[in-house]
Structure 1
Amino acid sequence: MKIINGSVFLEDGKFQQATVACMDGKITEITTGDALSANSSEAGEEIIDATDCYVIPGLCDIHLHGCMSYDACDGTREALKEMAKYEATHGVTSILPTTMTYPEDTLTTIANAVRDYRIYDNDTPGHATIHGINMEGPFISPEKKGAQNPKYIQRCDINMFHRINLASGGAVRLCDIAPEMDGAMEFIDEARKETRISIAHTTADYDTCKQAFDRGARHLTHLFNAMPPFSHRAPGPIGAAAENENVTPEIICDGIHVYPAAVNLMYKVFGPERLIMISDSMRATGLPDGEYELGGQPVTVKGRLATLHDGTIAGSATNLYDCMITAIKEMHIPLEDAILCASRNPAKAVGIYHTVGSIALGKQADFVIINKSDLMIKAVIVRGQYGKG
């Protein structure tokens, strides 16, 4: 396969007129500059003309619960397959299905399903690659539970984490905790050897979060949501994360969870090197308004807004590509930086950048071809296989 005539977003974070060749699901050649005129195609080679289009890397969503009536917590390969299919259609080619707060037996079932999917189904044509699990619960604060089920919240348990990670085949790439909870600091000391620790659903103050980051936590889950706000006398998790350059913050850019000006402010604080866009999508994503479920609790969806019946925001009903476009159009994030925040940065954070997250030689041939005029998806290529958006 060869993509020609496109404005390609290369690994340096800039667009350049280029031709990209792929074979066996990998990027084998990138031709730019004067070499373009000498570029030729072999007989029978599939050619994709990207004239008047941008060619960007497939997006990487490291925090999504579900879509198209399916959820990671269904604990089945069927659910994961349908999620991966929908995401790829919308330009998201790498995903971390995300769990909710459940007891160990349910989390183990989910871990088993992800392990089996990665063994047997991860090469399914036209489906996003599942790189592992984001374990959002149950080691969180009841006071900042958000849409998590309080029935199953518990203290940090490193042995429980080990068992779940083992069941997943060592695929838990993110584990969320509230650092003020009993045993949290000791949990960080041990779990950071196996996964990336994220501060989430927390009441922790600045000093507690700083200690957690100093001990090895490296991530902050859905910035602003389910955490104390930033203020000049109580900088909290946001202040602690901002001053530690090793920490990567997620932010939901659906236009619901965080006011546009606040997203832009966090872009300026953390910069395009660290900020990570996520969808936090739930099973209603891609479906009409109505009544759905998240973590065993009923959810009402109207447009992009999903809420529990008490009014608590319950995930989003928007995929990551649409979040990225919202960030560009409504939050005034430059196109190039928005792409980095939705591809390179998440891939780096969870340790898969050697494989995906940019257009570079030897990496997985995942691309989104989008019209320059309106940024609508024209085509998605996953592991070197072509499909329309």
Structure 2
Amino acid sequence: MAKTAFTCDQIFDGHAMHGNAAILVEDGVCLGVVKQDAVPAGVSVEAVAAWCLSPGFVDLQVNGGGGAQFNDQVNVDGIATICAGHARYGTTSVMVTLITDTADCSRRAVEAAIAAQAANVPGFLGLHLEGPHLSLAKKGAHSADLVRPMTVADLDFLIEAKSKLNHLMMTLAPESVTEAQVRALSGAGVRISLGHSACDAETAKRYTEAGACMVTHLFNAMSPLDHRTPGLAAAALLDARLMTGIIPDGIHVHPDMMRIALRAMGGPRMFAVTDAMATIGTDMTSFDLNGRKILRENGRLTLADGTLAGADIDMAACVKNLHELVGLPLEDALAMATSIPALALGVDDVGRLTQGSRADIVAIDQQFGVRLLPVA
């Protein structure tokens, strides 16, 4: 198949920004980024009118989108609707997320994920189970009636699920799982993220040694920074073995706290997640979750008592906020939506535009409007 070179004034390859460059693509695979004057002879050149080209965004926590909430549409069609809903905003790799639900719903979620993987649903990367093995003290919008400790049967089910899924991620709290269970899950290839937990920093360290490698939505639904009793948030900032998601909607975390966290963490360990719900890409004003109404107003999603219930933001808007509200250079903001979440999940063919990666390319304008480039 003929090679194509997509040219633009700025191209971010997942690691660095390149000026006056071109992305070489063949058969849906990236061959690398080169200077425009280094495009080989005979290659078809397509100039893209955009502020910047970037790898497609990678989102490890997506509860819904396009009008579908995964808990309520636990099937391949639901997964396809959610992925398509986020593709409109530049996200080409989605970890579809099930919020705490019944054991039967978790089973159906795994079955749907296996079927979606087999069907090569566009944008579907894998399954994220956020609960039900969480802390009641830090349950947030998760239903208290459904939060429960992990059993032997749960562990066996999850290890079997991972044997059939390329990518399975779980948010767990030390209060509801043992170190041995985390060790077994991690050993089976499940990516373990600590979250919805009131654990202290020392406990978080032990569970990291057992195999946890991530922290879910930093600062939210966890033991906070405290000058005498450092909690899970402190562990996330200080432990180089942990990567952490954060919701940069300006509501879940103040921009100053994001700046503090980024400085404390040093290297590329923090990535953006939307924690998005069904509302993305729709004019919905409310929806139901586990029999409770979630209200949408002024960029917030809340239960009737005001508890935040996921986020009403897409990944393009997250990148915009990271750049304009937090003040990150564009390439750093883009990395938090591309290569860093890919690194956290342990995948190397998405979130970057380097040799051998998938040619998922997003064109971004200066208002952070996005469009996916049609790549053969």
Query: Given the two structures, how large is their TM-score scaled by the length of structure 1?
Result: 0.90
1:19 aligns with 2:13: no
Q: 1:200 to 1:12 in 2, by over 3 A?
A: closer
Aligned counterparts of 2:247 and 2:372: Cα–Cα separation in 1:
23
| Aligned-residue offset at 1:50 | 2.2
- Secondary structure of 2:145's match? helix
Cα offset, 1:167, TM superposition: 4.2
Residue deviations 1:41-83 (CA, integer Å, cap 9, x gap): 45xx5x4312452111111000110012202222111111111
Aligned position for 1:9: 12
2:132 alignment partner, SS class: coil
Q: Is the CA contact 2:68–2:82 (under 8 Å) kept in the aligned structure 1?
A: yes
Would you say 1:225 and 2:220 are equivalent positions? Answer: yes
Residues 104-143 of structure 1: pairs in structure 2 closer than 5 A = 104-122=103-121, 127=122, 129-143=123-137
Q: Which letter maps to 1:220?
A: V
In 2, Cα distance between equivalents of 1:313 and 1:8: 36
CA distance in structure 2 between the aligned counterparts of 1:171 and 1:361, rounded to whole angstroms: 21
Which of 138, 150, 158 is equivalent to 1:156?
A: 150
4+ long deviations beyond 6 Å: none
Q: Secondary structure at the match of 1:84?
A: helix
Whether the aligned pair in 1 keeps the contact of 2:317 and 2:368 (CA below 8 Å) is no
Q: Does 1:243 align with 2:246?
A: no
Distance 1:259 1:245, change over 3 A: same
SS at match of 1:210: helix
Whether the 8 Å CA contact 2:14–2:54 is kept in 1: the answer is no
Judged with a 3 Å threshold, the aligned counterparts in structure 2 of structure 1 residues 41 and 297 are, in CA distance, closer, same or farther, namely farther
From 190, 195, 198, the counterpart of 2:193: 198
Query: Alignment partner for residue 52 of structure 2, among 31, 41, 54?
Result: 54
Structure 1 residue 15, shift from structure 2 partner:
2.6
Deviation at residue 189 of structure 1 after TM alignment? 1.5
1:376 pairs with 2:369: yes
Structure 2: tracts of 5 or more residues without a match: none
Partner secondary structure for residue 48 of structure 1: strand
Q: How does 1:1-389 map to 2 (within 5 A)?
A: 1-32=4-35, 34-36=37-39, 39-42=40-43, 45=44, 47-51=45-49, 53-73=51-71, 74-122=73-121, 127=122, 129-164=123-158, 166-167=160-161, 169-181=164-176, 183-193=177-187, 194-271=189-266, 273-288=268-283, 290-352=285-347, 354-371=348-365, 373-377=366-370, 379-381=371-373, 384-385=375-376
Structure 1 regions of 5+ residues with no counterpart?
none
Kept in 1, the 8 Å contact 2:276–2:311? The answer is yes
Q: In 2 relative to 1, CA 81–32 (structure 1 residues): closer, same or farther, beyond 3 Å? A: same
CA gap 1:284/1:10 in 2 versus in 1, 3 angstroms: closer
Amino acid in structure 1 at the alignment position of 2:368: L
Q: Give the CA RMSD over aligned residues.
A: 1.9
The percentage of counterpart residues that share the same residue type is 25
1:197 Cα deviation from its structure 2 partner? 1.0
